[in-house]
Amino acid sequence: MSARDTVLVTGASGFLGRAVVRDLQDAGYAVRTFQRRPSGVAGAEDVLGSVTDAGAVRGAVDGADAVVHLAAKVSLTGDPADFERINVAGTADLLDAARAAGASRFVHVSSPSVAHAGTSIVGDDAEPADPAHARGEYARTKALGERLALAADSGAMPLVVVRPHLVWGPGDTQLVERVVERARAGRLPLLGAGQALIDTTYVDNAASAIVAALERAPEVHGNAYVVTNGEPRAVAELLTGICEAAGVRPPAWSVPPAVARAAGGLVERVWAVRPGADEPPMTRFLAEQLSTAHWFDQRRTRADLRWTPSVTLDEGFARLAASYR
């Protein structure tokens, strides 16, 4: 690709999407965004619409030289049909439209949860997406969408899958804001001793890895890559770092993991009948994520994408603290 080629970014109004748009702009690309509300990024050409509208998808892709697909339904609970419509059918329509429009490369943004069956992940690489054993509708449908994406890879439209793991940073309304709100309300426990090692990804690093995948697509297409900071930390240390940056007390009480999983199952059943206004306080998947190790071997990712993280976790916590000040 060359400078001023047009890259379509779906889901650009999200936390990671905005960072990807800014990195693409800094690299000299013209950026068109496609999502249901304005991206909020100066200089980007916003096209409003949903990936569930095939006609709108075709219009958004028309004239784009490449596609970065971030749009997804991300939630711990919800109607399975919504996850299917957005994460599977929406991905299929976008892939078809990109091929028809002659897009020269495609980056599909997925999640390590597509290959997570509930047990510890200790230094694994990107295992194949496994919808049959994925935990929850988000992971299951993202696994199906990733399989569709990899099946669409070709010499004409080289495709790369990137799986950023637990992306966070200033302005994050998912992980960071929820941790801070629950800690402030005294509703943030540790599961067990909080010693499970977990990888996370500072937002700037996730965005730069996605841009690297776009630029390296002709050489590494057909592959999936997990992206992290490569600095596994204990859950207790990560939660403490976020809480201290925000000026709230870190978690000081614990719950046995088995109790949390049982409670999560109960909450899921209640939420299915009477969903709350926000995400449920606990689910079986969340209990597993907070009590089992999940960190990844980054050697293949860094070698193939010719990419390394530019922001360490400690620098990320310092930036997060500065944003709260």
* Tokens matching residue 202: 């500072």
Based on the residue annotation, tell me whether 138 is a catalytic residue of this protein: yes
Taking only the tens place, the pLDDT of each residue in 194-239 is 788 999 999 999 999 999 999 999 999 999 999 999 999 998 899 9
Confidence at residue 293, expressed as pLDDT on a 0 to 100 scale = 84
Q: Is the pLDDT of residue 260 over 90?
A: no
Confidence at residue 75, expressed as pLDDT on a 0 to 100 scale = 80
What domains can be seen in the chain, in order of their start residue?
6-167+201-229 (3.40.50.720)
Taking only the tens place, the pLDDT of each residue in 149-196 is 999 999 999 999 999 999 999 999 888 888 888 888 888 787 777 788
pTM above threshold 0.85: yes
More confident residue, 288 or 56: 56
Q: Is the pLDDT of residue 274 over 80?
A: no
Taking only the tens place, the pLDDT of each residue in 54-111 is 999 999 999 999 999 999 998 877 788 999 999 999 999 999 999 999 999 999 999 9
3-state secondary structure the chain: CCCCCEEEEECCCCHHHHHHHHHHHHCCCEEEEEECCCCCCCCCEEEECCCCCHHHHHHHHCCCCEEEECCCCCCCCCCHHHHHHHHHHHHHHHHHHHHHHCCCEEEEECCHHHHCCCCCEEEECCCCCCCCCCCCHHHHHHHHHHHHHHHCCCCCCCEEEEEECCEECCCCCCHHHHHHHHHHCCCCCEECCCCCEECCEEHHHHHHHHHHHHHHHHHHCCCEEEECCCCCEEHHHHHHHHHHHHCCCCCCCEECHHHHHHHHHHHHHHHHHCCCCCCCCCCHHHHHHHHCCEEECCHHHHHHHCCCCCCCHHHHHHHHHHHHC
Confidence at residue 285, expressed as pLDDT on a 0 to 100 scale = 63
Confidence at residue 95, expressed as pLDDT on a 0 to 100 scale = 98
In which band, very low, low, confident or very high, does the pLDDT at 120 lie, cut at 50, 70 and 90? confident
- The mean of the pLDDT values for the chain is 89
Q: Is the pLDDT of residue 289 over 70?
A: no
Confidence at residue 325, expressed as pLDDT on a 0 to 100 scale = 84
Over residues 301-312, mean pLDDT: 98
Confidence at residue 281, expressed as pLDDT on a 0 to 100 scale = 59
41-50, 120-129, 155-164, 312-321: least confident range: 120-129
Confidence at residue 282, expressed as pLDDT on a 0 to 100 scale = 55
Contact indicator for 291, 260 with CB cutoff of 8 Å: yes
Q: How far apart are CA 15 and CA 320, in angstroms?
A: 14
Confidence at residue 265, expressed as pLDDT on a 0 to 100 scale = 62
Confidence at residue 277, expressed as pLDDT on a 0 to 100 scale = 61
Q: Is the pLDDT of residue 1 over 90?
A: no
Annotated catalytic residue, options 29, 138, 202, 225: 138
Q: Is the pLDDT of residue 267 over 60?
A: no
Q: How far apart are CA 34 and CA 5, in angstroms?
A: 17
Q: Among residues of the chain, what percentage have pLDDT more than 70? A: 88
In which band, very low, low, confident or very high, does the pLDDT at 243 lie, cut at 50, 70 and 90? very high
